[in-house]
Amino acid sequence: MTTFSSRTQNTSHLDEDPAFAMHRGGKLQVTSTVDVSDHEGLSLAYTPGVARVCDAIAEDAELVETYTWKSNLVAVVTDGTAVLGLGNIGPEASLPVMEGKSLLFKQFGGVDSVPIALNCTDTDEIVETVVRMSPSFGGINLEDIAAPRCFEIEAKLRERLDIPVFHDDQHGTAIVTVAAMHNAARLTGRTLADLRVVVSGAGAAGVAVTKMLIDGGIGDIAVADSKGMIYQGREGLTPIKQELASISNKAGLQGSIESALEGADVFVGLSAGEVPESVVATMAEDAIIFAMANPNPEVHPDVARKYASVVATGRSDFPNQINNVLAFPGVFRGAFDVQASDITENMKLAAAKALAGLVGDDLSADYVIPSSFDERVVPAVSAAVAAQARQDGVARR
C-alpha cells in the first residue's frame, strides 16, 4: 500500500519545476488576527467571551458585519468546468487556480477569500449550495464555470442573495477591456462611438464584453461564434445568443468572421482559433486588435503590429495585458467598503472609467492600460465603485 509520505516523496521530482515548487503545500493558510497566548485571551476569543458576541448577533443580525470577518470575506466558487484555457478539468484540478485567485484578492485588494471547488455541475444544485453557505460570506466570486450555465447561475444568485455576486470571467474581463478600449480610441483620435467592433467568441467573456461596450456607447459591435456571425433570425441560437442578436450587429452582418472583419476598426478575440494575417490586413486604418486567447493569441502581436495602431493580449510578456486582477480586487474592495448589496452595471462601468483614467499624458501604443502592479489601481477602482454604489442606492453604509 502506498503511504502518504511515499506519495509525497515520489512527487519530489516535480519540484524541479518552479511552478510545482511554489504550489507545494498550497498557496494559502489561515492566520489569526488576535493574540491568544494566555488564559485571558483564550476566554475572550472562545468560551465564555464568544458567547456574548453570539448572543448580540442573534438579537441584531447586522452585527455580524462588525464582529466577524464576513464583511471582508469572498467565496471563490467554481465547478471546474472552464478552467483557464484547460477546459473541464474538474474541481480538484481547479483548486490551484482558485487558491491563486484568493491570493490575488488578498495581495491586491486586502480582501480575504476562501476557494470552494464544488463536485457538482447542475445549475440548481450549485445555486442552492451557494445560497446555503452564503451566511458565512460577504460576497460571491464565481470562477471558471462553463457557459451558458454561468449566466443562469449568476442571475439566480443575484435574485436570491443580498450580497455582491460577481462572475469574474465575465465582468472582470469586460471592465479591463472597456478601459483599455477607451484609451486605445483616445490614442487614435476617436471615441467608442466611432468604432465598429467584431468580437470572436460568444462565451462568458465575449457576452459580457459586448454588453459593456454597448452600455459604454460603442458605435457598432457584432459577435461571432464557431458557426459564424450572430444575427437576428439565425437558426439554433441559444437564449443568450438571441439576446446578443437583438442588441448588437446593427449592420446585420452574416457569414464568416473573416468577412465581418473587412473594414472593421476593432477585433476583440475571446475564443480559441486563429485569424489569418491576410484577414487582419483588410481591417480599417488605425485598427485596434485585442487578441486575448491564452496562451496563443488569435493574432500574434508581431503580426498584429503590422496593421494595428494598438495591440493588447491576455499575456504578461507583451505590452497592454488585459488582466482581470486590474478589476476584481478593487471592485470587491469598493463594494465591501460601503457594504453594497449588489454590484450593478453602473458600478462596473465606473470601475472601467476609473481604470482608464489612470493612463494620462503617458498614453502610448504600448501603454493603454495600467500595470497589474500599479499601486494606484485598487484605490482608484474601489473609490469609483463605492461612490457609484451610493448613487445606485445599493450601499448600506
Active site residues: 46, 101
> Is 169 known to sit in a ligand binding site?
yes
Query: Distance (Å, rounded) from C-alpha 321 to C-alpha 83?
Result: 19
> C-alpha cell of 375?
499601486
Using DSSP, state whether 280 is helix, strand or coil. Answer: helix
CA atoms within 13 A on the CB side of 1: 2
Q: DSSP letters of 200-256?
A: E--SHHHHHHHHHHHHTT-SEEEEEETTEE--TT-TT--HHHHHHHHHS-TT---S-
* The one-letter amino acid at 185: A
Cell numbers representing residue 125 in the block: 444544485
Question: Contact, 375 vs 109, CB < 8 A?
Answer: no
CB atoms within 10 A of CB 176: 30
Q: Give the CA count within 13 Å in the CB-facing half-sphere of 121.
A: 12
88 annotated ligand binder: no
Is 323 annotated in some ligand binding site? Answer: yes
What is the CA angle 101-104-108, rounded to 5? 155
144 in a known ligand binding site:
yes
Judge whether 332 and 111 are in contact, CB under 8 Å. Answer: yes
**Grid coordinates given for 201:** 467568441
Secondary structure element (H or E) that encloses residue 199, with its range = strand 196-200
Residue matched to cell numbers 493580449: 313
Going by C-alpha positions, the residue among 231, 172, 165 that lies closest to residue 202 is 231
Binding-site residues, please? 143-144, 169, 294, 323
Q: Which residues are annotated as a binding site for (S)-malate?
A: 294, 323
Annotation: binding site for a divalent metal cation: 143-144, 169
